[in-house]
């Protein structure tokens, strides 16, 4: 069966179980499905929501490019990446990555690679909106996110 690659950038929320069925429905050859769902934290109760902006077309193209690198490096049977934009309330999902393969190592590596890219380099801009607006502002990648992403050589998607 051919590998499935799906990239979506969308305003609306998603159902993770429904999305995983896209990769696994009717298949008995898969040995691993690794998923990650990123949620909007309330930051100790101060955050009401995030406003996520993107450059339409560019965001999809960059995610597609990185998903292609993941497919080249690891023998995947499926890769699905969803990233939301717009206003996202605390507790709502922001991002979903699902990697399917015959073996777990490849699925874990591909999902981790994609999340590290999404956290540090994908063309999205996030603004925190707080209850009193005192801590509102644009969110930059955290040093620990940059460190995690630095372990990948993006030219060939290997761990360095």
Contact indicator for 116, 144 with CB cutoff of 8 Å: no
Domain boundaries, the chain: 4-159
d(CA 31, CA 51): 37
What is the pLDDT at residue 135? 57
What is the pLDDT at residue 105? 96
Q: Is the pLDDT of residue 155 over 90?
A: no
What is the pLDDT at residue 59? 95
Report pLDDT digits (tens) over 107-135. Answer: 999 999 999 999 998 999 999 888 876 65
Q: Which CATH architecture has domain 4-159?
A: Alpha-Beta Complex (3.90)
Q: Is the pLDDT of residue 160 over 50?
A: no
Q: What percent of the chain has pLDDT over 70?
A: 91
Q: Say if strands 76-84 and 32-39 run parallel, antiparallel, or are unpaired.
A: unpaired
Which residues, other chains included, contact 66 with Cβ-Cβ below 8 Å and sequence gap of 6+? 113, 114, 117, 122, 154
Contact indicator for 115, 39 with CB cutoff of 8 Å: no
Contact indicator for 103, 31 with CB cutoff of 8 Å: yes
């Amino acid at each position: 069966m051919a590998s499935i690659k799906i990239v979506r950038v969308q305003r609306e929320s998603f159902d993770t179980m429904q999305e995983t069925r896209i990769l696994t429905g009717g298949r008995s050859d898969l040995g691993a499905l690794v998923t990650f769902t990123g949620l909007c934290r309330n930051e100790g109760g101060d955050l009401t929501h995030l406003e996520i902006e993107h450059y339409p077309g560019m965001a999809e193209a960059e995610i597609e490019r990185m998903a292609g690198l993941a497919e080249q490096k690891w023998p995947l049977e499926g890769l699905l990446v969803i990233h939301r934009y717009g206003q996202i309330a605390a507790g709502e999902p922001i991002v979903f990555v699902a990697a399917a393969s015959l073996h777990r190592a490849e699925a874990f590596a591909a999902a981790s690679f994609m999340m590290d890219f999404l956290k540090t380099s994908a063309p999205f801009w996030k603004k925190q909106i707080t209850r009193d607006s005192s801590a509102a502002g644009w969110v930059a990648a955290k040093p620990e996110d940059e460190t995690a992403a630095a372990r990948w050589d993006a030219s060939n998607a290997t761990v360095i």
